[in-house]
Amino acid sequence: MEKISSVLKEKKKELEKQLSRPDLSPEEMKNYGIEYAKLEEIESVVNRIRETQEFIELLKEEEEDEQEIDRYEKELDSLFQELFLLLSPETGDKAIVEIRPGTGGEEAALFARDLFRMYTRYAERKGWDVEIAEMHETDLGGVKEAVFFVKGKNAYSILKYESGVHRVQRVPITESGGRIHTSTATVVVLPEIEERDIEIRPEDLKIETFRASGHGGQYVNKTESAVRITHIPTGIVVSCQNERSQYQNKQTALRILRARLYQLQREQLEKELSQKRKSQIGTGERSEKIRTYNFPQNRVTDHRINYTSYRLQEILDGDLDEIIAKLIEHDIENNIEEILGTSVPSAEH
């Protein structure tokens, strides 16, 4: 918090210089005044965070009741999310989450199912809506692929931290010798893009229909309602069979395609400009291991921030606020100058 407080202090000084200019126009005065009020609001939340952190430390030193400490820690998590939203005025309320098993065979598919359950439980806690676009299961109940939409206040802004490779260490149900195995699953979180923001030309699409199949290869229906769309210029392929009609499946597939094309464009632009932040929390790349879930030790470790929690079952049950708050705190601490620098004008005139 010290770095954030220091940057806020400097930005307020810059604005005070601007506000003291004798040639300041009424419009400039209004705009600078709004910026200054926003900085004071941010500063107020930062002070509340610092006070709550200090109070929690005091409770721990005095070995107060764990439930009381837990209550204030949850309040701290909420304060960090409040700060994050103040610093991120352009938040995303719609996300597309894709989960696929990585290395580890059937155990990886079972872990992918656990992640799907974790995120849907988290969405329930946040009051978000979940709409399944595509779900393919294995014979043992694992997940070959899960694609779903999440809609709710700041859904993408919060879930974007989950992109990357998740690793699990546990004894699989298929292991008779009791040995611990390591498996992985990949999570990709994309913002849902409005139709007007990404142009998709009909001539660039190859659209195929086929019969939707369910668990064990049984047909969900006898009509060719499932849709597969190939974007010819990029080779991106999207399939959807979860809806009852061919039209609904096509529209859902196009929603996913727009998000993937947007992500591709953004990655290409960042590569060309070489402007990725060095301190950025994760890039969402498939090769990047971001978190380990270790069952024998009841431990969850986020490798991006070297943070460990011994609340594995609670986290898998959807209690993600604690770890999300730590990621937000790290992100803000490392990028506060960049975040505020885009909205606060320079003192030079």
Give the residue from 70, 87, 104 where a domain finishes.
Answer: 87
Residue 230 lies in a domain: yes
Residues 147 and 283 in one domain: yes
* Residue 282 within any structural domain of the chain: yes
Q: Are residues 33 and 72 in the same domain?
A: yes
Q: What is the pLDDT of residue 57?
A: 85
pLDDT at 320: 93
Domain contains 207: yes
pLDDT at residue number 343: 44
Mark which of 250, 272, 294 sits at the end of a domain.
272
Note whether 129 and 259 are same-domain residues. Answer: no
Does any domain span residue 6?
Answer: yes
For residues 183 and 99, membership in a common domain is answered with yes
170 shares its domain with 312: yes
Q: Are 136 and 143 in contact (CB under 8 A)?
A: yes
Q: Provide the CATH number for the domain around residue 260.
A: 3.30.160.20
Q: Are residues 203 and 264 in the same domain?
A: yes
Write down the pLDDT at residue 279. Answer: 43
In a domain? residue 331: no
Q: Please tell me the predicted confidence (pLDDT) of residue 344.
A: 41
For the full predicted model, state whether its pTM sits above 0.75.
no
Number of domain units in the chain: 3
pLDDT given at position 280: 43
Domain of 289, in residue numbers: 94-193+278-317
* Domain annotation covers residue 268: yes
Tokens of 123: 């969405």
Q: Are residues 267 and 126 in the same domain?
A: no
Output the tens digit of pLDDT for each of the chain's 349 residues.
777 788 888 888 888 888 888 888 888 888 888 888 888 888 888 888 888 888 888 888 877 778 888 888 888 878 877 787 777 655 578 899 999 999 888 999 999 999 999 999 999 999 999 999 888 898 888 999 999 999 998 898 889 899 999 999 999 877 777 789 999 999 999 888 877 778 888 888 898 888 776 544 444 455 678 888 899 988 889 888 877 788 888 888 888 888 888 888 777 765 655 444 344 454 444 457 999 999 999 999 999 999 999 999 999 999 998 898 888 888 887 777 666 664 444 333 3
Q: Is 182 found in the same domain as 57? A: no
pLDDT score of 186: 94
Same domain for 305 and 160: yes
Q: Looking at the domain assignment, is residue 341 inside a domain?
A: no
The verdict on 207 and 135 lying in the same domain is: no
Whether 264 and 293 share a structural domain = no
Domain boundary, last residue among 45, 72, 87:
87
Whether residues 6 and 113 share a domain: the answer is: no
